[in-house]
């Protein structure tokens, strides 16, 4: 029976391949290698420190430290998949935190009724959310309409936001929040820190959005080829505005967790996280040129980095040595992936060559 169905167009075939990759059904970069590395690192540190490292306290400590960096890394991953970059994530989170901190410290007097405290906490959270929403919409609009690389646009917004924050606060720290608000960053539910549970929930939501929704597929398509995506009928400007708005909203969640855990806010917090978020994203398999990236890979990369940091910290190593080890880990994983890709391409080329030779036998083979 002859198949009369029309052959899929190249664009449809590419979209189908991209969708399978994002949903984990393709041959994309799997986090299994990072999981094996994580198990190896845990085993190594457990052998070196059998009484201190493999304990519930160490696990809880890592779960308390991971969420802020994890949420900021998520905020960086979405622009990266769209072939962009958001250098303003730290500045946005800090300014949002300062705004919320200002409202709470000025409006809530000591000894206020719980209802009044709850009301002003809600007002502060709403103000911080709206602030991040406006920053994200403005940044996305500039990226979508200026025709300038996102690095330059977000470098400008980062400078503006940082400058305003430092000017208004004179670089000072705002501290002293209600106990009810601090509980967000310090509570433990069934042995698991609340910030870690919030991070897991947000990461799962972002993973679903990026892999199961038309918006997520459009983000990856823009990262692969902006012009082709535009000609395929996707409103690329609207998607780009959505990318930077979503990134900025994730900064709001990170700001809330940082405030609640540190009981303070400052324009200078988490500045060292900016490049680490890019490192974690690339280590987790996000293509730095855009077009592909999985949240599961990013989460596994964050766990690996946190295990290295906690292990070296318990060994008494210098913090700068931790940064160096992180860099070595990134280069090592990139080298292994490069070699694995080259070997796979060589096997594929050899298989194609054998198939061609079998379908076109030489005159000697025919006889």
Tell how far CA 116 is from the center of its chain.
Answer: 36
Distance (Å, rounded) from C-alpha 295 to C-alpha 2? 43
pLDDT of the residue at 288: 84
Q: Digits of tens for pLDDT over the chain (367 positions)?
A: 444 445 555 555 555 555 555 455 444 456 777 888 899 999 999 999 998 899 989 998 999 999 999 999 999 999 999 999 999 999 999 999 999 999 999 999 888 899 999 999 999 999 999 999 999 999 999 999 988 889 999 999 999 999 999 999 988 999 999 999 999 999 999 889 999 999 999 999 999 999 999 999 999 999 999 999 999 889 999 999 999 999 999 999 999 999 999 999 999 998 888 888 998 998 888 888 888 888 999 999 999 999 999 999 898 888 788 888 888 887 887 788 788 778 888 877 777 666 666 666 655 555 5
With b for 16 or more beta-carbon neighbours within 10 A and e for fewer, the 61-100 pattern comes to: bbbbbbbbbbbbbbbbbbbbbbbbbbbbbbbbbbbbbbbb
Contact 333, 34 (CB under 8 A): yes
Q: What is the pLDDT of residue 264?
A: 94
pLDDT value at position 26? Answer: 46
Q: What is the pLDDT of residue 210?
A: 94
Length of the chain: 367
Helix (H, G, I), strand (E, B) or coil at 102: helix
- Nearest-angstrom CA–CA distance, 143 and 154: 8
Q: How far is CA 61 from the centre of its chain?
A: 21
The answer to whether 162 and 267 have CB atoms below 8 angstroms apart is yes
Burial track 320-350 (b if 16+ CB lie within 10 A, e otherwise): eebeebbeebbeebeeeeeeeeeeeeeeeee
Q: What is the pLDDT of residue 2?
A: 46
């Amino acid at each position: 029976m002859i198949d009369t169905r029309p052959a899929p167009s190249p664009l449809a075939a590419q979209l189908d391949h991209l969708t399978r990759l994002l949903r984990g059904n393709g041959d994309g970069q799997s986090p299994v290698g990072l999981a094996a590395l994580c198990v190896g690192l845990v085993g190594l540190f457990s052998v070196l420190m059998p009484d201190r490292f493999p304990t519930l306290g160490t696990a809880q400590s890592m779960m308390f430290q991971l969420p802020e960096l994890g949420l900021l890394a998520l905020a960086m991953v979405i622009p990266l998949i769209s072939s962009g970059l958001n250098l303003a994530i730290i500045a946005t989170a800090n300014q949002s935190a300062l705004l919320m901190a200002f409202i709470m410290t000025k409006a809530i007097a000591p000894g206020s009724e719980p209802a009044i405290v709850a009301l002003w906490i809600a007002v502060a959270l709403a103000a911080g959310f709206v602030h991040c929403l406006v920053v994200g919409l403005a940044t996305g609009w500039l990226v979508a309409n200026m025709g300038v690389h996102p690095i330059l646009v977000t470098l400008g917004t980062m400078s503006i936001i940082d400058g305003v924050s430092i000017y208004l606060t004179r670089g000072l720290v705002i501290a002293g929040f209600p106990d009810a608000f601090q509980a967000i960053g310090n509570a433990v539910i069934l042995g698991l820190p609340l910030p870690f549970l919030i991070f897991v929930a947000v990461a799962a939501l972002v993973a679903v959005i990026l892999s199961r929704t038309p918006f997520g597929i459009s983000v990856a398509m823009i990262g692969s080829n902006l012009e082709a995506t535009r000609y395929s009928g996707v409103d690329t400007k609207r998607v780009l505005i959505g990318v930077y708005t979503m990134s900025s909203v994730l900064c709001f969640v990170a700001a809330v967790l940082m405030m609640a855990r540190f009981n303070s806010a400052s324009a200078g917090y988490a500045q060292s996280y900016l490049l680490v978020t890019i490192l974690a994203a690339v280590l987790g398999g996000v293509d730095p040129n855009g077009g592909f990236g999985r949240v599961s890979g990013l989460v596994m990369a964050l766990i690996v980095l946190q295990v290295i940091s906690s292990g070296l910290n318990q060994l008494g190593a210098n913090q700068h040595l931790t940064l160096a080890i992180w860099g070595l880990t990134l280069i090592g994983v990139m080298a292994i992936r490069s070699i694995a890709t080259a070997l796979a391409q060589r096997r594929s080329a050899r298989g194609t060559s054998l198939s061609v030779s079998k379908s076109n036998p030489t005159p000697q083979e025919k006889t």
